[in-house]
Each structure stands twice: as structure tokens, then as C-alpha cells.
Chains A and B, each alone.
Chain A
């Protein structure tokens, strides 16, 4: 029985290594084909591009600017194809930090996802932050992401937790001018879960093939962090958001609704 299994494994190896080239598609067979997708994150504020040290107006006659940090964690990226099959980006390479400091001159931050099964994808889902599984599974599957997060200031050693989002800047309201603005929040261990997922329908089908590397342009409206599902005011304590059990879930839901897919490039 065991011998049989080994023989089969060998046979399978032989097949996989030989079948890659002779597949001229009259009817397209995508089995075994892998391609890549680039996610292009583009932070904005309302109808403006985001820039540091620029003042933006929000509701309640309040304004803010970010001076040093605009970062958030994206994880558990997966795609659904036209037949409803889901493909998840392989574990171990599915946690990312979108850091405005990594943006090109056009303000775009690229996530290149490799080893994506070839298919026609119609929907993308991703998480903001880190899911509770990661908290209960310890270091497993995190590779050097802990290191990256700590280096980017996206990790509290205390409460051993990730900051899902980090905004640093200043704000002005009726009583305060240029007060310190800091949103550094995530889950609080296993006692407060602020991980949220976003599912977005793609405006046109994303074709992943060995020779095609489509690009999905995702816009994030930073204003919605404060003026989203719920409008919050700096005057009410939202100038400093850290671990509070009332404030942090509101911001988490606001962030869940700040993403849109602007367009898709198939090339």
C-alpha cells in the first residue's frame, strides 16, 4: 500500500514536470497555471490625493493633517472567480503593511501577489488588521511579519498586538489648535476583536494567466476613518484612539467602508 502511494507520488511528479508546455488552448484549460496580481493601493482624502502635512477638513468644523504616519495592515487576501470558487493567497505571505512612506511619486503603494491560480476573478476580499486566529495560534505562520511590524511601528510589545492602523498628525477643533492626533489601534489580545473584512466586486473581470499580470487599483478614502459609517469628533476623544472598547470598534467599521475598487487593468 505504501509502495503504491510512493509510486503514485513519483508518477504525479513526472506528470507535473512534463505537462507545462504542451497546452495550446483551443479550449482554455487553466488547471495548474499560476499568475500574479498587483494590488495598487491609493490613499486619498475625499476627492483629493493624500499628502502629508496638508490640512483636510472634516465634519463638525474640525480639520486635521497627518505629519508622520499613515499605515494599515491588510491580510487574508482572497479572490472569487466567476464560478464562485475562492482562491486565498498562500498563508505565510498574506499579511502586508500599506505604508504611505512606501508610495511612489504618484502616491501608489503596490502589493505584488504571486502564485495566484489562473482564473477569471470577479471579487476580492481582504482583512484590515490581523484575525483572531493569529492571536490564538501564536507565532505560527507569521514568519518575519512580527519583525516587519515592529520595525514599522505597527506592533505593541505590550498586549502583544498589532496596530491595525496608525495615523500620526495634528488636529484643530473649536477649542484646540494643532493638538496631537494619534490613531494607533488594533485588537486588544483576544478580549477585543477589531479585525474586519472587506469584500469588493471588481468592475470588470480580472484575468489571471501565466502570461498576464493584472492590476487592481484600490482607493482608500482616509476621511472615512473619521467621517464614515459614523462621524466622530476629535472634540469627543477621537483625537487619541488606542484601546478604548467603544471608540476602536467604531473606527474599525469606518475603515471597513473606506475602500473602493477604482478600476482593473488586464494586460
Chain B
């Protein structure tokens, strides 16, 4: 009781001190903390949660921004335009993404899932923090074509957003920092860890793999898991897989970051979660099916002028991973156990 009294005195003082600004900020709003899911088969979280603890208001604001066209120059291209939930947040069926003014990007939109567990972002690792990643598509002339200051001005002009930002950030207004933090709060909550495979490895719900899925898992472990490592199915490194260079794009991959010749044609090892739904494949979306991807690794690596990864070197000095027809079939059967329908249909992440 006494404690309550003191608390109300302190509160009263606060009000007195701040009453010059008679903003009707929802003083009685208590943020509800949200926890980022930590599946037992996952490695540690990489995202700096302590700087940006997730709350319901921050998450909801982030979701609203994710689906907000005003983040683009023509007010029509939201993040979700190229990241559709039903396809593991990829741009369904598009090899390369398109954006404002009919711009065509250079790379295939990556799935968005388990981002709290990633150290770097984009195919070439151009972003080293999740908070800063959205600036890339936002500023790209080929994607959203907008500046941070225009976005801040557009959002600040909308009373509802002013309220939303104050709720999410303890009374603070619309700033680029808060906008990026809200987007991160939405993104770090997007954890995909409830596929058939997950339930199998965690011994949940008596889930067992079929024979062909189990055979596929075994072949995968032997032939693919050194790069597609951990239950994130990526070791988060950059590798040159010997994909022939598309001369029209001439995309040099990670080399573009620091002009280091050792980085020529290197791209990030992608996660394989929900890979059944995230077609087309590779950094430029050149393969439509998983069969085409496995055929490439088996027999179509032609090399390029960069250094092809040693993991792909056969005993005879040629590049490739020997896979029989059954191994390919079974690996694909296994990969389909990574489809997480709970995630793909999770209403928390859906626009409507």
C-alpha cells in the first residue's frame, strides 16, 4: 500500500515535469514483452535482443511497416511485395525481384525465417546487422527507391503512426532508428522450427521419417551438410559453387564488397528450410526445381573464373558431388520434411 502511494507520487512528479507537452501519450500502456522462440535444436541467437527487446507494440508496428507501401518511392512496394508468407517470404516464382519504376533487381529474393540466428544478411553479406539490412532494398533504385528521411516524413505525417511509435518506443517519435528497430522486432519473431524434420529430431508427437526421407537425410548428411550445416541448414559462409556466370548480370557476389579476388563469385550458403516453397533457386533464381539443383551439383558444375569451393572437389580433380538417381530422389524427399506449415500459415506474420 505504502509502495503504491510512493509510486503514485513519483508518477505525479513525472507528470508535473513533463506536462508542458500535453501530448496524449498512452501513459497507462504497459508493454507486453514477447520472447523470440529458441528451439532446442537451434544454435544461439545472434541478434542483439538486449538493445531492442521485443514487445507486442513493437512487433505489431514492425509488421505494419513490413506491409506498408509508404516505405517505397511510389507508396506501393512494401517489403512484403517480394517477401510473401506462403512462399517462405520469397517473391513467388520470380527469378529476380522487381520494384518501383519497373526496376529489375540482380538477385533472387531470399526467404525470411530464423533471422535472429543469422550473423550477416543478403546473398553477399552486405549487411552485418539485421537492423540495417532493410536500408538496402529501401534505397535501391531497382527495389523500393526511397530515402530514410522521406519515409520518416511520410510516417510522421500520419497520426496513427505517431501513436504507434510512441506506444512501441516509450513515448519516442518516428525516427529511422525506431523504424528499423520495429522492423527487426517483427523479423526476429519469424522463427521456423516446426517442420516434420524438427519434430522428428526433437522426438515430438511421435513423428518418424519414412524410409525414403531417412535415406535422404543420410545422403544429405554425407554430401551436403558440411555447408548446409546445423539445423539452420547453413554454416553462414560464402562459397563459390562453380555456377556458370550469367554474362547479362555478371554478378561477382561477395567480391563487390571489398574487391578481394578470393571472394569472386562467392554467395552465402542459403538455409534449406522451406526450400520446397521458396523456388526458384540459386542467387539468380536460375533453377526452377530441386531436381535441377541436384543435377547441377552432380554433373553440371562448369566452373567460372573464380575459385570453386574445395568441398566440391572430387578425388579425380573434377568438381561435383556424385549422386545416384535414388539419392537425388531421397534427398528431395528429405528436403520436403523441412517445410514448416505452421510457420507458412502463422497468422501472427500474415497481413490480414
Question: Which residues of A are interface residues toward B (Cβ below 8 A)?
Answer: 2-3, 6-7, 9-10, 13, 135-144, 146-148, 150-151, 155, 157-160, 188-192, 243-245
CB-CB contacts of B37-65 with A at 8 A, as 1s and 0s? 00000000000100110000000000000
The answer to whether A138 and B9 have CB atoms under 8 Å apart is no
Selected A-B contacts with CB under 8 Å, 18 pairs:
A10-B6, A10-B10, A137-B129, A138-B131, A138-B180, A139-B176, A142-B176, A146-B135, A146-B177, A147-B147, A150-B148, A150-B149, A157-B140, A189-B126, A191-B128, A191-B257, A192-B258, A243-B259
Cβ distance A162 to chain B, nearest Cβ, rounded Å: 10
The answer to whether A188 and B257 have CB atoms under 8 Å apart is yes
Give the contacting residue for A3; candidates B3, B129, B148, B175; CB below 8 A: B3
Complex Cα distance, B262 from A242, in Å, reads 18
The answer to whether A160 and B132 have CB atoms under 8 Å apart is yes
Q: Known contacts A140-B48, A192-B258: does B129 contact A135 (CB below 8 Å)?
A: yes
For the complex, is B250 an interface residue (Cβ under 8 Å from A)?
Answer: no
CB-CB contacts of B1-43 with A at 8 A, as 1s and 0s? 0110011011001000000000000000000000000000000
Q: Known contacts A136-B48, A138-B129, A160-B129: does B147 contact A150 (CB below 8 Å)?
A: yes
Cβ distance B172 to chain A, nearest Cβ, rounded Å: 9
Give the contacting residue for B152; candidates A9, A137, A140, A144; CB below 8 A: A144
For the complex, is B218 an interface residue (Cβ under 8 Å from A)?
Answer: no
Give the contacting residue for A136; candidates B2, B3, B6, B129; CB below 8 A: B129
The answer to whether B128 and A6 have CB atoms under 8 Å apart is no
The answer to whether B176 and A160 have CB atoms under 8 Å apart is no
Complex Cα distance, B52 from A62, in Å, reads 50
Cβ distance A164 to chain B, nearest Cβ, rounded Å: 15
Which residues of B118-156 have CB atoms within 8 Å of chain A's CB atoms? 120, 125-133, 135-136, 138-140, 147-149, 152
* Residues in B neighbouring A146, C-beta threshold 8 A: 132, 135, 148, 176-177, 180
The answer to whether B258 and A9 have CB atoms under 8 Å apart is no
CB-CB contacts of B200-236 with A at 8 A, as 1s and 0s? 0000000000000000000000000000000000000
Q: Known contacts A138-B132, A139-B181: does B48 contact A160 (CB below 8 Å)?
A: no
Question: Which one of A135, A160, A189 has the highest number of Cβ atoms from chain B below 10 Å of its Cβ?
Answer: A160
Q: Known contacts A160-B127, A160-B129, A188-B257: does B6 contact A140 (CB below 8 Å)?
A: no
Complex Cα distance, B8 from A10, in Å, reads 12
The answer to whether B258 and A138 have CB atoms under 8 Å apart is no
Cβ distance B121 to chain A, nearest Cβ, rounded Å: 9
For the complex, is B260 an interface residue (Cβ under 8 Å from A)?
Answer: yes
Give the contacting residue for B128; candidates A135, A139, A244, A245; CB below 8 A: A135
> Which bracket fits the contact residues of B?
35 or more
* Residues in B neighbouring A150, C-beta threshold 8 A: 135, 139, 147-149
* Residues in B neighbouring A139, C-beta threshold 8 A: 52, 129, 131-132, 176-177, 180-181, 184
Give the contacting residue for B13; candidates A13, A140, A148, A191; CB below 8 A: A13
Nearest-neighbor residue (CB-CB) of A5 within chain B: B6
CB-CB contacts of B258-275 with A at 8 A, as 1s and 0s? 111000000000000000
Q: Known contacts A10-B10, A140-B52: does B152 contact A158 (CB below 8 Å)?
A: no
The answer to whether A245 and B258 have CB atoms under 8 Å apart is yes
Supply 20 further A-B pairs (C-beta < 8 A) apart from A140-B52, A188-B258. A3-B2, A3-B3, A9-B10, A135-B129, A138-B48, A138-B181, A139-B132, A141-B177, A144-B176, A146-B148, A147-B147, A147-B176, A148-B149, A150-B135, A155-B135, A158-B136, A159-B127, A160-B127, A160-B128, A160-B136
Cβ distance A159 to chain B, nearest Cβ, rounded Å: 5
Cβ distance A68 to chain B, nearest Cβ, rounded Å: 19
Question: Which one of B147, B175, B176 has the highest number of Cβ atoms from chain A below 10 Å of its Cβ?
Answer: B176
Cβ distance B137 to chain A, nearest Cβ, rounded Å: 8
The answer to whether B148 and A243 have CB atoms under 8 Å apart is no
Nearest-neighbor residue (CB-CB) of B138 within chain A: A157
* Residues in B neighbouring A155, C-beta threshold 8 A: 135
The answer to whether B257 and A140 have CB atoms under 8 Å apart is no
* Residues in A neighbouring B260, C-beta threshold 8 A: 245
* Residues in A neighbouring B126, C-beta threshold 8 A: 158-160, 189
Cβ distance A158 to chain B, nearest Cβ, rounded Å: 6
Complex Cα distance, B7 from A39, in Å, reads 42
* Residues in B neighbouring A137, C-beta threshold 8 A: 48, 51, 129
Nearest-neighbor residue (CB-CB) of A192 within chain B: B258
Cβ distance B10 to chain A, nearest Cβ, rounded Å: 7
Give the contacting residue for B258; candidates A141, A142, A244; CB below 8 A: A244
Query: Nearest 10 A-B pairs (CB), nearest first?
Result: A138-B131, A157-B139, A139-B131, A160-B132, A140-B51, A139-B180, A189-B128, A138-B129, A147-B148, A6-B6
